[in-house]
Structure formats: C-alpha cells, structure tokens
Amino acid sequence: MRMRCVDVQSELVAYLDNELSKIAKTVIEEHLESCERCTAEMIALQETVEASKTWQPIQPSSNFMIQLREQIEDASPPDLATELRHLRITLDLLTQQLQQEKHTSEIMDIEQVAAYLRMGVDELWSMLDDLPHFQLGYELRFKKSSIDEWIRAREDRNEPGIGDWYGDRWLQRMSRSSS
C-alpha cells in the first residue's frame, strides 16, 4: 500500500512514540525508505523529541531579581510616563464611548432604563404598567425617545397627583420619612 506523504507525516509522532500497529509501522518504514522528504521530517521530529528530553527547568541565578529590579529602575522614566499618559487618554476615550453607548442607544433593556432613570430594576418593574415599553419575544424593551417623552409628561405636572403611581409612591415616601 502506497501512502501519501501528508498521511505519513501526520503519523510520524505516533511512529516515534512507538504507538502504531505493526502493520502501520511497516507501511511507514517502507515509505520512509523511498521518500527523502518524509525521512527528513522524521529526523527533525526525532531531534526535537530528543532535545525536549534534555531540557532542564530554568533556575534563575540568585541575583536575578536584583538585576531585574536595577534594569527596571534604569529604564528611562519619561518613556514610561508618556506611555502611561497615552494609555490614560485611550482609557478615558473608551470610557466616554462606553457611557455614551449606554445612555444613547435608542432601544434599551430594563437594566439600561433603570440605570438611565437612576433607580433599581425592582422598582422599575413595579411601575411597568405606566412606562411605555414593548415586548420582544419574552424580553422587555424600551424606546429611549418614548421614555424621554414620558419624563417630559411628568415634568409638566407641577405636583404629583394622588392616585397615579408616582403620587402614591411619593406619599409613601413622605409618610415613611416622617415616621
């Protein structure tokens, strides 16, 4: 049976580890006899395997840490400062972008609305009937412009009216804080 070089080379590690069946081993050896390319590949692999057996864990010399610290201290500080400043600017820009994204995306989920209105998610759930929202599958979504409109409508009312949820809540809060 004539094997393709790719197939032989994919079996070479197993061959070197002596993991192949007798037949497979024979087929590969026959191929190696007539193929320089695969033989070269096999020798290279063998050398790598041999070399890896003699590798020793690296022991840092006793003064390695001292030398390293000296080198760090010697490193020119202006470069490091510039680098840090650049990082700082990048970080600020990213934070800004992230915050903008958080607050300006037109469609928000309940957590984003809660953050937007600076209130807890639980509290928001309790006033869901009053808040413009729509359902996406099982998920609730809010349109930012609708929320803004809803806020504007609230702003127009000078005083919270008794009977609407805000009024109730407001009264609850007042009575809680006074008791």
Residues that bind Zn ion (CB under 5 A): 5, 35, 38
Q: Which two tokens stand for residue 15?
A: 């061959």
CB closer to Zn ion out of 42 and 108: 42
């995306």: which residue's tokens? Answer: 105
Running DSSP on this structure, what letter comes out for residue 150?
A: H
State the minimum distance, in angstroms, from the CB of residue 1 to Zn ion: 13
CB closer to Zn ion out of 20 and 115: 20
CB closer to Zn ion out of 9 and 112: 9
Instruction: Write the CB contacts of 110 (distance below 8 Å, at least 6 apart in sequence).
Output: 121, 124, 125, 140, 142
State the minimum distance, in angstroms, from the CB of residue 107 to Zn ion: 59
State the minimum distance, in angstroms, from the CB of residue 64 to Zn ion: 46
User: CB of 144 within 8 A of CB of 108?
Assistant: yes
DSSP, collapsed to helix, strand or coil, labels residue 141 as strand
State the minimum distance, in angstroms, from the CB of residue 24 to Zn ion: 15
CB closer to Zn ion out of 5 and 81: 5
